[in-house]
Amino acid sequence: QQFLKGLPKVELHAHLNGSLGIKSLCDLGERLYGSTSEEFLKLCARFSRFEKEMDMNACFEKFAFVHELTSTPEGLRFATELAIRDFAQDNVQYVELRTTPKANANYSRRDYLQIVIDAIRRAKETYPAITVKLLPSINRAEPVAVAEETASLAVELAQAHPNLILGIDLSGNPGKGRFSDFAPILAQARAKGLKLVIHCAEIENPSEVKEMLQFGMSRCGHGTFLTPEDIEQLKQRNIAIECCLTSNVKSGTVPSLEEHHLKRIMEADAHKVICTDDSGVFDTTLTKEFVIAAETFGLTREHCVDLTFEAVNHSFASEQERIEMVDKVATYMAIWS
């Protein structure tokens, strides 16, 4: 555990609003409402109600709750800083943060992305050891017009921040929306140079999985219901599957850790990365995910290091950044041996 905690880790599947741990949510509530205000006390009471076991719908309710806290520029700015703080404290050296731009009375989708970009920039001064990239998310539960706006903002802002915005994520409740409606928008973004990370086979929907695999992606989110043939196809095409153990078990898409598809993916020697998904919502860290994977599937220290190198390879980092990440891991290994 101590080895895994100190390992300079690489996180490739993390949703911003899902990545705020209880402590960060309390810090955020306190900053926004003051620690003795009635709002803050009500907020604490609501936290405790979320402690019980969750299913996927309850998870999406929990996101709505966090979204209330980040519905002002100040809340969003501070939340971004706190999420980066939490990853940095877990010795994550590189994180690709995804987030769905939102519009409300306080900010537009453009403002939302700009606030997050500025907060990431500022966090670099406080947490210099962690490199943060941004992947705007399209929420499949929202109208296609919103997806169009998000994709065009992502393309435009990626031109202004080419080393920060590298791709687009397709996420949101997998039981809602149709992939085929979003495919043309994603195809356009890809043609403009953005990478695509797509939540795929999160629930059982073989025809959609087929469509998604035909369409292609840079990395596959979750991949819970991929068939052995699908896994083989992803392997041949060098597409990594982002495995989020705690998230899948707590949200009920996988019955137990032992039955997690990471086992099948490892047996097939396909490409995989260990990720948190929503470290706050699921009360985990990347260190914990490695510990769980190691304990459940008998991974050694070397396996965990190899998984980290695999994450470096499948990241959207520049060549120079990849070299630096590998160096950090090698230096760490040298200290331990």
What is the binding site for ligand 5GP (CB under 6 A)?
A: 15-18, 63, 99-100, 137, 139, 171-172, 174, 199, 202, 247, 277-278
Q: In what order do the strands lie in the sheet with 131-139?
A: 9-15, 92-99, 131-139, 167-171, 195-200, 219-222, 240-243, 272-274
Smallest distance, ligand 5GP to C-beta of residue 88, A: 18
Smallest distance, ligand 5GP to C-beta of residue 16, A: 4
How far, in Å, are 29, 161, 258 from residue 243 at the CA level? Answer: 31, 28, 13
Here the tokens at position 196 are 């695509």
Active site positions, annotated:
202
Sequence-separated (6 or more) residues with CB below 8 Å from residue 112 = 76, 99, 101, 102, 103
Amino acid at 16: L
Whether 73 and 108 have beta carbons less than 8 Å apart is answered as: no
Helices (H), 12-97: 22-33, 38-49, 56-69, 73-89
Q: Cβ closer to ligand 5GP: 182 or 332?
A: 182
Q: Cβ closer to ligand 5GP: 282 or 332?
A: 282
Q: 31 exposed, middle or buried (CB, 10 Å; 0-12, 13-18, 19+)?
A: middle
Sequence-separated (6 or more) residues with CB below 8 Å from residue 218 = 167, 195, 196, 197, 239, 314, 316
Whether 65 and 46 have beta carbons less than 8 Å apart is answered as: yes
Here the tokens at position 36 are 């003795």
Rg (CA), the chain: 19
How far, in Å, are 69, 239, 293 from residue 26 at the CA level? Answer: 10, 38, 29
